[in-house]
Structure 1
């Protein structure tokens, strides 16, 4: 017979350790929204109310709700083993999320729930009480202010309210009149809304969609793949066999910045920016787990691969294989899948590089003439440099009229002082901040420059038809086709006719 001792963890010590799982407020809220979705909610309302020390956060849903027995089990730390088979639509795993996510943000967790056949039940974890008594005493008495909160937020319909009180890690001042503290609190609300829009974007769009609101406003879904954009490329779409099942993998190359409006570019960059958002997006039952990572496959984040994004869909029972953590924020690819995932990553990274190089090449795409760009990329030994294209109509006309001399010297000075390091630095800090050619420029200014180009090309003996053809393929005038035709008709009307 094996001898043993029962060594129970000290509640007053463990409860504080459970607060240190590393949740941000937005990831903690997302964990609770998982529970609402698993409970078949069609509407999830996240409320954040500032009131100094009395501030609170509530997650309200119209799901199936719980009776007293189920609520007691839901409040038990580690209620379900991660090895226990789960329903295919279950977004939980460890049976810890409700508790650890809530404890990370508050010292008093109240859960109130009702089903279609049972009346309101409530349970409360008060961490100060647990520490005071030195035991896992789950409170069953519903305080009057919490009951009033149920009536305000939910009413008598089936569903659940998870209420966080005593937000010791979020409230920076006990004074409800402290405007700076209030602003900080509602900044967190904005962060929560953006995060939920990313994590649950596939739940709030399409057939069977649900409604998720933060402080009364529907969250805006964030599609990391820009699937609706006409220039987004689907590179691969396949299913990888693993342990008798198929894992869906679909890879995309997003549009180059020149194909996006500034608003589209900023939105698609996500909360971390384009360079950090590249890589794999791992979903578990359509819920985003990892948002932009090369999963330790040996690839680096690079500017040229920032357009590469790969969607990977996992069933819930593969959590262990992918080493998904308690916070549902980390995943690691099983060794058996690494070669195939590397193959897909290499293909989509190469395509992203090709898009960048194609858009960045100067005078290397087909056109109806030799003049397309104002700048040329040249190689000097092992170095890359940039030169003004002296065959450009305006540049050539200016140099001819001036006979070289000071104008040539000025052009050479510009070439030797292109602020490449500064351009690279600014692009890394904010890729969407660089102005596109003639962006926010008055049409009359563009028209004036275009008129000078047309006249210079005409003086050089280029026919009207050829001028139109070249301008329609010459950046930046290729973005102004109507203006090109207007100016050419005015300047070269008889010749074009």
Structure 2
């Protein structure tokens, strides 16, 4: 028989190491909401209460609950092997989430639970007690204060309350009268609400939706794909075969900023902004794992591709293939899928760039051809410059009839003094701040400009019919077909189709 020694981990050392998995508070709370959803909860209520050193956070759900034996197993570190089969709807994997997520935020984890057929049970991990005794002693006594919280937060119904006490990493002052510390504590609630609205947005809408609240307020789902917006484009929608199964991949190009209201643009940009939100969104059982990443496929985040977002749906038994970590925040594509994912990414990136260059315009106007841009991008050696389009009907008319050399000099002056650095800086500070053509301009002022354009084109001998067609495809008037129709009727006696 081979000799061996049993070397058990030192509880007082390992328990402190389990606190270092790198959870932010919002990701730790999301891990606990996973458990609530797996337990078939229809309502999850996250509560944060400030009381200095006695502050606490609770995650309350109306799920199936646990009896004493199941609760004991749930509190065991590594309760289920990552390789063990899971039910289709299970959002867990490593059997560590409840413990590592909680220990990362607090030194005392209390879980209270009841089922439809069993009374209230409770278990507590007190890390100070574990360190003091040097052993994995799970406390079984339910103190009166925690029982009172159960009655306040849950009542006599099946479900579970996960309670975090001794929030040593969240409470910056032990003084409950410290207003600055209190404000800091409650900013956590805002971060948690935004994060949960992102991670679980597909659980918050549609058939079978659940309710998630933070301090009594329902959180709003954040749809990264703007699927309900009329100008969002579905670029590809396909299923990729992998190990005898199909992985759903659907790609979108979001509307250009010119097609969004200020509020829509801010919301769609998310917490990190438009440039950082481009790329793949990897879901595991509809739960968002990775938000806005090119998955190491060799693509860079670029301004022109900021409208590209791709939804990828995984079943929960492919965690190992995708190298999903304990915190459910990292995923890497299997090598066999890389070529297909790159192909899809290239298609949606090209479409995003095309929409971005045309500033969100519909590229073809039925019966009227391409939109004529006022500015062109040109390459001079290794540098990029911007030129006024001399084939633009108005520019061409001015060059022909209004002293060509002087107009040409003015156009060159404009071209050589385009404030590109200032535009880039302002766009980086707030991409939604730039105005669109004639934004908030009275229609009468636009009509006046249109009338001047019509007269200038007439002086060049352009026929009335050609003027009508060119106005409908001339930037920026192509965005104002009703005003083009009105001015053509008034100035030319022509009606547009």
Provide closer, same or farther for how the CA distance between residues 403 and 46 of structure 1 changes in structure 2, counting only shifts above 3 A. Answer: same
Shift of 1:471: 2.9
- CA distance in structure 2 between the aligned counterparts of 1:78 and 1:489, rounded to whole angstroms: 77
Note if contact 1:387-1:415 (Cα within 8 Å) is conserved in structure 2: yes
Note if contact 1:465-1:496 (Cα within 8 Å) is conserved in structure 2: no
List runs of 5+ in structure 2 lacking aligned partners: none
Provide closer, same or farther for how the CA distance between residues 132 and 262 of structure 1 changes in structure 2, counting only shifts above 3 A. Answer: same
Note if contact 1:371-1:392 (Cα within 8 Å) is conserved in structure 2: no
Note if contact 1:463-1:495 (Cα within 8 Å) is conserved in structure 2: no
- CA distance in structure 2 between the aligned counterparts of 1:402 and 1:467, rounded to whole angstroms: 18
Query: Residues 185-233 of structure 1: CA distance to partner in whole angstroms, max 9, x if unpaired?
Result: 2222111111111111111111111111112222111122222222322
Match of 1:41 in 2: 41
Shift of 1:370: 10
Query: Residues 130-188 of structure 1: CA distance to partner in whole angstroms, max 9, x if unpaired?
Result: 22222222111122221111111110010011111121211222233333322222222
Provide closer, same or farther for how the CA distance between residues 496 and 276 of structure 1 changes in structure 2, counting only shifts above 3 A. Answer: closer
Shift of 1:82: 0.5
Provide closer, same or farther for how the CA distance between residues 179 and 493 of structure 1 changes in structure 2, counting only shifts above 3 A. Answer: farther
Matches within 5 A, 1:14-33: 14-33=14-33
- CA distance in structure 1 between the aligned counterparts of 2:237 and 2:370, rounded to whole angstroms: 39
Higher deviation after alignment, 50-59 or 23-32: 50-59
Q: How many residues align?
A: 497
- CA distance in structure 2 between the aligned counterparts of 1:370 and 1:284, rounded to whole angstroms: 42
Match of 2:101 in 1: 101
Query: Residues 42-71 of structure 1: CA distance to partner in whole angstroms, max 9, x if unpaired?
Result: 111111222222222111100000111111
Shift of 1:419: 1.8
1:66 correspondence with 2:66: yes
Shift of 1:72: 1.0
- CA distance in structure 1 between the aligned counterparts of 2:357 and 2:233, rounded to whole angstroms: 16
- CA distance in structure 1 between the aligned counterparts of 2:31 and 2:422, rounded to whole angstroms: 42
SS of equivalent to 2:28: helix
- CA distance in structure 2 between the aligned counterparts of 1:496 and 1:356, rounded to whole angstroms: 28
- CA distance in structure 2 between the aligned counterparts of 1:66 and 1:469, rounded to whole angstroms: 72
Shift of 1:361: 10
Higher deviation after alignment, 2-11 or 21-30: 2-11
Shift of 1:396: 5.9
SS of equivalent to 2:495: helix
- CA distance in structure 2 between the aligned counterparts of 1:407 and 1:31, rounded to whole angstroms: 65
Higher deviation after alignment, 55-64 or 271-280: 271-280
Note if contact 2:285-2:316 (Cα within 8 Å) is conserved in structure 1: yes
- CA distance in structure 2 between the aligned counterparts of 1:468 and 1:183, rounded to whole angstroms: 61
Provide closer, same or farther for how the CA distance between residues 496 and 89 of structure 1 changes in structure 2, counting only shifts above 3 A. Answer: closer
Provide closer, same or farther for how the CA distance between residues 486 and 313 of structure 1 changes in structure 2, counting only shifts above 3 A. Answer: same
- CA distance in structure 2 between the aligned counterparts of 1:362 and 1:327, rounded to whole angstroms: 42
Match of 2:458 in 1: 458
Provide closer, same or farther for how the CA distance between residues 391 and 167 of structure 1 changes in structure 2, counting only shifts above 3 A. Answer: same
Shift of 1:112: 0.8
Provide closer, same or farther for how the CA distance between residues 397 and 156 of structure 1 changes in structure 2, counting only shifts above 3 A. Answer: same
Provide closer, same or farther for how the CA distance between residues 161 and 483 of structure 1 changes in structure 2, counting only shifts above 3 A. Answer: same
Note if contact 2:48-2:58 (Cα within 8 Å) is conserved in structure 1: yes
Provide closer, same or farther for how the CA distance between residues 409 and 367 of structure 1 changes in structure 2, counting only shifts above 3 A. Answer: farther
Higher deviation after alignment, 56-65 or 462-471: 462-471
- CA distance in structure 2 between the aligned counterparts of 1:468 and 1:186, rounded to whole angstroms: 59
List runs of 5+ in structure 1 lacking aligned partners: none
SS of equivalent to 1:122: strand
- CA distance in structure 1 between the aligned counterparts of 2:460 and 2:178, rounded to whole angstroms: 70
Shift of 1:424: 3.0
Note if contact 1:290-1:329 (Cα within 8 Å) is conserved in structure 2: yes
Higher deviation after alignment, 303-312 or 383-392: 383-392
